[in-house]
């Protein structure tokens, strides 16, 4: 009788242990994690200017009271489509060089071998980036710089360059010859140009 009690008690304890073991191992789930990473570099792109150049033609008046002096030159525009920067904190910078006649001869008094103008680049921020050249009559100091406001978000925009306000230093008579100027537009980080 004493033996029987021991067997019953032991059998129960074994069965309990087996139940515990099965419950603790099923079901089994296992996972493996993998990450994928990459980067996107800061990029700004300016579209190709259209038209690619501006020819003002004959700039001097050939008749009337202003004969020989700068005639009326209408505004000229150039489109730069699909410009973008994919990062915030960007700005437009403009460098404009007055139209200068490249003859190395001395400029006589009352004459001018430079034509100044204002270059506006609009479309990037609410206010245009604008610069006006201030070349002297002899063509010196022809280049001026300016930068627009900061754009605080990535942006895509169509830009427009407009040339206005053509003037000759001292309103002098333009020296005959070929005049060449240049506008350089840069789109990049604020303060980076």
Partner 1 sequence: MTKHRFLIAATLAAAVSAAAGAASAASNIAGPVGVPVTGHAVTFCTTGSLTNGTTVFDLGVLTDTTTGELKNNIAPVSKTLNGAICNTASTINVAAQPMTAQSFTIAPPSGFSRSVDYTATASGWTTTPAVYETSQTTNGGATQSRNSAFSGPITVTLSGFSTTGGSTLRLVSDPNYLGAIVVTLAAGN
Q: Binding to partner 1 by residue 21, rule CB under 8 A?
A: yes
Please state, as a whole number, how many other Cβ atoms lie within 10 Å of the Cβ of residue 19. 10
Which is nearer to partner 1, 119 or 187 (by Cβ)?
A: 187
Which is nearer to partner 1, 110 or 191 (by Cβ)?
A: 191
Query: Mask of contacts with partner 1, 143-162, x by CB under 8 A?
Result: ----------xxxx------
| CA atoms in the 13 A half-sphere facing the CB of 179 | 28
- The backbone torsions φ and ψ at residue 19, rounded to the nearest 5 degrees and listed phi first, read -60, -40
Q: Binding to partner 1 by residue 34, rule CB under 8 A?
A: yes
Of 12, 42, 102, 110, which one interacts with partner 1 (CB under 8 A)? 42
Which is nearer to partner 1, 14 or 74 (by Cβ)?
A: 14
Q: Binding to partner 1 by residue 30, rule CB under 8 A?
A: yes
What span, in angstroms and rounded, lies between the C-alpha atoms of 163 and 118? 6
Least distance from C-beta 7 to partner 1, angstroms?
A: 5
Q: Are 162 and 92 in contact (CB under 8 A)?
A: no
Would you list the DSSP string of 121-181? EESSSSS-EEEE----TTS-S-EEEEE-PPB-S-EEEEEEEEEEEEE-GGGPEEPSS-EEE
What span, in angstroms and rounded, lies between the C-alpha atoms of 83 and 188? 11
Of 12, 16, 20, 26, which one interacts with partner 1 (CB under 8 A)? 26
Q: Binding to partner 1 by residue 23, rule CB under 8 A?
A: no
The footprint of partner 1 (CB under 8 A) covers 3-4, 6-7, 10-11, 14, 17-18, 21-22, 25-43, 45, 84, 86-87, 153-156
């Amino acid at each position: 009788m004493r033996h029987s009690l021991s067997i019953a008690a032991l059998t129960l304890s074994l069965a309990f242990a087996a139940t515990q073991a099965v419950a603790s191992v099923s079901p089994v789930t296992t996972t493996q994690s993998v990450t994928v990473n990459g980067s996107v570099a800061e990029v700004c792109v300016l579209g190709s200017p259209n038209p690619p150049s501006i020819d003002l033609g004959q700039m001097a008046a050939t008749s009337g009271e202003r004969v020989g002096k700068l005639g009326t030159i209408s505004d000229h525009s150039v489109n730069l489509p699909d410009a973008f920067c994919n990062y915030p904190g960007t700005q437009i910078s403009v460098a404009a060089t007055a139209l200068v006649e490249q003859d190395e001869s001395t400029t006589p008094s009352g004459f001018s071998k430079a034509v100044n103008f204002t270059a506006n680049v609009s479309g990037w921020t609410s206010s245009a980036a604008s610069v006006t050249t201030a070349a002297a009559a002899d063509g010196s100091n022809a280049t001026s710089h300016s930068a627009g406001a900061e754009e605080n978000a990535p942006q895509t925009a169509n830009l427009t360059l407009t040339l206005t306000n053509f003037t000759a230093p001292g309103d002098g008579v333009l020296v005959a010859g070929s005049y060449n100027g240049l506008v350089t537009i840069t789109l990049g980080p604020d303060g980076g140009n």
